[in-house]
Amino acid sequence: MQFHNLKHISIYAVMLFWLLSSSVSFAADPHVSADAAIVMDVTTGEILFEKNARRQMPPASTTKILTAIVALENGNPLDIVTISKHAAYTEGSSVHLTPGEKLTLDDLLVGLLLRSGNDSAVAIAEHIAGSEQKFAELCNTRAKELGAQNTIFRNPHGLSMPGHYTTAYDLALLARHALTNLPRFADIVSTREDTIEWDGRSYDRQLRNTNKLLWMFEGADGVKTGTTKQAGQCLVSSATRNDQQLVAVVLHSGGRWNDSIQLLQYGFNNFKLLKFADKNSLYQRLTVIKGMQGYIDAVIADEVSVIVPNTIADSIRIEYDLASSIEAPVYHGQKVGEIIIYHQNRIIRVVDIVAGQEVMDRTLVRLIINQLLITYQKLAGWGCF
């Protein structure tokens, strides 16, 4: 069986070929006032437009996206958190926590992501890591693991500090991870209004999401605002239409709502997400020759999807390269085939098909041992032992 060496081709390489061949026409790039901007497809991670997306810049409260990621991945939402004086007296935006007050971690996350509470951010950091400094170390480690290589955070809230920076690209990566892998994060950031308990009061805190795009743009479902004098207007936003989700980032914007709408609208108007199969789905069963079992599940290793310009969506085709059988031994995860997505005669994406189980080769010793085990199980079932 022969497989292509090509694993994945960037959409930009494909676009370059299309442009040079004059077979595809594109709309003009979106005009944005932000110093740095990006719009990314959430499913594939492909960049549809970027402007200074790798420039290191202060992120303001978009920092809280990573704070929420680390909290959700390391804490229990039902944990009871006692608010310290240090957390309660944190400057800037607040949900008015008081020293000694007890709230669940989940309530603090709501306060963090809806009202952008800096006090919530510090309380979360102290609960998860013991201090802001140790929490920042966790954040920086996790950022690198997620591919955000140009991010260093010194605090959990985003108030300006020397050496506290990120990029539009890194923020898009972080938001994509949170939206895709953390359902509670996605639920909170798409919520317009919510309440959390207010200890000692006869009423609850009424929280309204600072992200006005939730009211302004059809399909908007996240993510996080940020504003400081140094960072200017910042926004990480997301929206979903027709099962296609995009995330946009603008940093130091002259008008973050309009900039974000321009980016998201550009993505939806000009690109189409084509989904063919889900990750870990069964393609078919594959016969195993000379194995202790007669077949394996041939499983799709990754989601089979591609985002392409609308103008060529109807010309995308897919092929499957899989032999009718495989010889033992077979190890779990072994590549047994490929799914290839083409535009005309050019490959634009390749996804492996892999073995879903391990199958040992059939030897005389293994056959004898296997038969003895079967006999033992039968005798045990008859009560002979």
Q: What are the mean pLDDT values of the chain's consecutive 10-residue runs (385 residues total)?
A: 50 44 62 97 96 98 98 97 97 95 96 97 98 98 98 97 97 98 98 88 86 98 97 98 96 98 97 92 89 89 92 92 89 93 91 92 64 65 57
- Please say whether the beta carbons of 349 and 318 come within 8 A: no
Structural domains present in the chain: 1-27+278-385 (2.60.410.10), 31-271 (3.40.710.10)
Residue 163 phi/psi, 5° resolution? Answer: 80, 10
Active site annotation includes 64: yes
Q: Which of 51, 84, 93, 116 is catalytic?
A: 116
One-letter amino acid of 308: V
Q: Which of 61, 190, 253, 260 is catalytic?
A: 61
User: pTM value?
Assistant: 0.85
Active site annotation includes 85: no
pLDDT tens by residue, 185-201: 999 999 999 998 887 77
pLDDT of res. 17: 43
Q: Which of 64, 84, 93, 253 is catalytic?
A: 64
Taking the CA atoms of 174, 176, 179 and 180 in sequence, report the sign of the dihedral they define: negative
Active site annotation includes 116: yes
Token pair belonging to 264: 């998201």
SS3 content of the chain, % helix, strand, coil (to 5): 35, 30, 35
- Please say whether the beta carbons of 155 and 136 come within 8 A: yes
CA-CA distances (angstroms) from residue 81 to 22, 148, 157, 198, 358? 60, 29, 18, 14, 46
pLDDT of res. 28: 80
pLDDT of res. 379: 60
Helices (H), ranges, the chain: 11-21, 64-74, 85-88, 105-113, 118-129, 132-145, 168-181, 183-189, 213-216, 256-270, 364-381
pLDDT of res. 370: 60
Beta-bridge partners for 245: 240
pLDDT of res. 364: 60
Residue 122 phi/psi, 5° resolution? Answer: -70, -40
Residue 74 CA to residue 71 CA, distance in Å, equals: 5
pLDDT of res. 155: 98
pLDDT of res. 13: 46
